[in-house]
Amino acid sequence: MGISSLLLGKWMPTWLLEVLTTSSVRLTLLGCWGGLSLLAMLITVWAKRKTGLATTVLRKIYHILIVLVFTPGILLDLTLAYFASAAVMMLFCLLEFIRIQGIEPIASIISAAFYTFLDEKDTGELILSHIYLVVGVATPLWLNPCPFDATSDSLTTPSLLPLLAGVLAVGVGDTAASVGGTYFGRKKWSGTKKTVEGSFFGVIVQMIAVGLLVALEVIDVTWAVWGRLLLSISLVAVVEALTDQVDNIVLPLLLYTSLMDL
């Protein structure tokens, strides 16, 4: 903290307080994020007491919450979203370290909460699904330089659509595909449990989400781009259905790369 304060020219906690409180938008975002964090904790407590609740359903609830957290952050304050996502990832890593080291009484509480995130890819001692989720949604932000200037005409300024790649691929598409496959799925992809109908549903919902952002004049997508956008989202949906990799990380990277060329 001493080195940071020296570089900043003022005591770091004072600087951080000024950064977070000088904008009404930032205060509103922080308040909303605090409320959503509280909601996530309440859902976790409820899930522990709820018997017979599928872990897949619970994970998708967290996916929806991550959409509600990241979307307004990216649209309203990119810089705050950039640093807040990094802070959350570091917090999750710290909590996982405490859990692995068995530092009580915190470790047992963390273990009980994190077990709700378990999926088939968490095969060792580490529980990383929640970290993968944050990293996947935030990676498009981290791949761009900060601070951002979304109003600049500079060629180095990132478009908002690629920055939403993680939100679209994981928060919207993956969740919609899971719901669509559960209720409407009939034909399975070869060698997997996932369905063609689920993938199709995920693509449609992502396109609707982009259309809603365009209608709200949050982003601008020309008619010439829509076809390429549909192709990019469709290809990522196929990868999601067939891959054995950590899709929370792979899918945002693939969609981000595709959207950067639009």
- Residues 157-180 have pLDDT tens digits of 447 899 999 999 999 999 999 888
CA 77 centroid distance within chain: 16
Provide the whole-model pTM: 0.85
Query: Which alpha helices (H) appear in 158-215, and where do they start and end?
Result: 160-163, 165-166, 175-184, 196-215
In a domain, 82, yes or no: yes
Helices 24-49 and 78-101: crossing angle in degrees, nearest 10, is: 30
- The label of the residue with tokens 């959503």 reads 36
The pLDDT value given to residue 34: 94
Residue 7 in any domain: the answer is: no
In a domain, 139, yes or no: yes
3-class state of residue 197 by DSSP: helix
Number of C-beta neighbours around residue 128 at 10 A: 20
Percentage of the chain exceeding pLDDT 70:
84
Beta bridge partners of residue 163, listed in sequence order: none
Residue 153's pLDDT band (boundaries 50, 70, 90)?
very low
The pLDDT-based confidence of 154 (bands split at 50, 70, 90) is: very low
- Are 120 and 129 a contacting pair, CB within 8 Å? no
Mean residue pLDDT across the chain = 83
> Is 18 domain-assigned?
no
Q: How many domains does the chain have?
A: 1
Task: State yes or no: pLDDT of 152 exceeds 50.
Answer: no
Residue 83 lies in a domain: yes
Give the residue, 84 or 149, on which the prediction is more confident: 84
CA distance 163 to 50: 36
Instruction: Identify whether 8 is part of a domain.
Output: no
pLDDT of residue 107 exceeding 90: no
| 256 within 8 A of 165, measured Cβ to Cβ | yes
> In the prediction, which pLDDT does 261 show?
76
Residue with tokens 């000088």, as numbered in its chain: 22
The answer to whether position 3 is within a domain reads no
Find all residues with CB under 8 Å of 41, minimum gap 6, and list them: 113
3-class state of residue 171 by DSSP = helix
The model's pLDDT over 30-46, given as tens digits with 9 standing for 90+, comes to 999 999 999 988 888 88
Domain carrying residue 62:
25-260
Residue 129: predicted pLDDT: 82
The reply to whether 4 falls in a domain is no
